[in-house]
Homo-oligomer: A and B are copies of this chain.
Amino acid sequence: MKTRLKGNALIGQSGGPTVVINQSLVGAVQEALRHPEIRRIYGAVHGIQGTLGQDFIDLKAEKPSTLELVRHTPSAALGSVRKKPSEAECEEIFKVFRAHDIRYFFYIGGNDSAETASIIARLAEKNGYELRVCHLPKTIDNDLLVTDHCPGYGSAARFVALALMGDNLDNRALKGIKIDVIMGRHAGFLTAAAGLGRRDEDDGPHLIYVPEVPFSIDSFLSDVDENMKKHGRCIAAVSEGIQDAQKRPVLQAIGGQGEKDSHGNVALSGTGALGDFLAQQVRDVLGVSRVRADTFGYLQRSFPTVVSDIDAREAREAAVYGVRQMTKGGSSSASVAIRRLGRGKKKSGYASECFLTPLETVAKNTRGLDPGFIAPSGKDITADFVKYALPLVGKLPEMGRLRRKPVPKKSL
């Protein structure tokens, strides 16, 4: 058995919150409490930002009942951040780690967070400072490499699937054209979830546009027109990140807001501009009167009570697994990933396990929808996507529908 690395642990949360990111936080804390070589358990307030300012809190001072409640609470209880530290800031971070004897660093986030974790791990190695850095995956975009899927996705996808189930019924009751704009910069996983609740042939969304397929406004208008003729109504689920053939975000092309974060990403959420633009195009060109656009915005990622049980469990398990692996010392730095298992003995037909992957394999790039998840038409998902995603969102409620036996008309 290897010598145990004694010292303090630091946990941080980064990037966009999810409804299960606190499952990872509390999972890491509760597991760390079982390992005596981890002396103190600190939380970094607002991630790397708080680390730079030594803005740490003592997570051992939290009551177990508080931790249990936080575990089921949406958004990042430690505070989050969108920041990529500079070289100089990374040097500063090491001074802080050394001063506080931080030997375990758990960073919960997406690929930007994995990159931050990777930079810190490399600096530690270069400086001969023994540090175990573990990236815990979290993103509603589901765009991390290596892993089958990401904690946070299942619950956000559940929100989107439920929203479209309701919207389909709303649009059937008061017909017209409805455009729903869903989060997702490069990856269409969340937008694709719009189709998970469909049951009947005429159920919406009738069109699904993801960033992986070049978007053409002319095709969009003719697609909508075709569905209006077929169903007398049309719901289109559109990713906020849809791009034209030149890979330029449509939102940017129409002059949407231009805020940028420190990773250079233009803000796509928090504005209704894309939906309003598409709705106006439909009004102007197709001349349809009842056209509405909803932009789901931040509701998708932090709505209390809309949680996938499997997602919540996996978010916790990934963190527990990460702490166990780091204390074992099998690897000095890694990212936790999830592997889907064969059907096994579980009735649900779904099982998964965690494994470690080098930080570098997750940090650099992201992935989009598998080509097999996108219908050949480029405006819908496939049965393979439903098979992939449905276990992650959990059981969706059954919707009732009247058979509507017509009453014979009378002559007046």
Contact of A404 with B45 in the complex, beta carbons under 8 Å: yes
C-alpha gap A172/B77 in the complex (Å):
9
A297-318 Cβ-contact flags toward B at 8 Å (1 or 0)? 1110111111000000000000
Interface residue count on the A side (C-beta < 8 Å): 97
A397 beta carbon closer than 8 Å to chain B: yes
Specify which of B76, B78, B273, B404 is in contact with A276 (CB 8 Å cutoff).
Answer: B273
C-alpha gap A80/B272 in the complex (Å):
26
Contact of A302 with B400 in the complex, beta carbons under 8 Å: no
C-alpha gap A17/B299 in the complex (Å):
21
Contact of B402 with A302 in the complex, beta carbons under 8 Å: no
Contact of B405 with A61 in the complex, beta carbons under 8 Å: yes
Which of chain B's residues have a CB closer than 8 A to the CB of A167?
298-299, 302
Specify which of B16, B43, B56, B398 is in contact with A69 (CB 8 Å cutoff).
Answer: B398
A253 beta carbon closer than 8 Å to chain B: no
Contact of B296 with A400 in the complex, beta carbons under 8 Å: no
Known: A71-B400, A77-B400. A170 touches B259 (CB 8 A): no
Which of chain B's residues have a CB closer than 8 A to the CB of A276?
271-273, 276
Which of chain B's residues have a CB closer than 8 A to the CB of A79?
172-174
A-B contacts, 21 of them at CB < 8 A, read A45-B404, A57-B405, A61-B405, A72-B400, A73-B399, A73-B400, A75-B169, A75-B170, A77-B173, A77-B402, A78-B173, A78-B402, A79-B172, A162-B303, A170-B298, A178-B270, A271-B272, A271-B293, A304-B397, A304-B399, A305-B305
Interface residues of chain A, those whose CB is within 8 Å of chain B, are 13, 16-17, 19, 22, 40, 42-43, 45-46, 54-59, 61-63, 66-82, 92, 95-96, 99-100, 162-163, 165-167, 169-170, 172-174, 178, 257, 259, 267, 269-273, 275-276, 279-280, 283, 289-299, 301-306, 397-407, 409-412
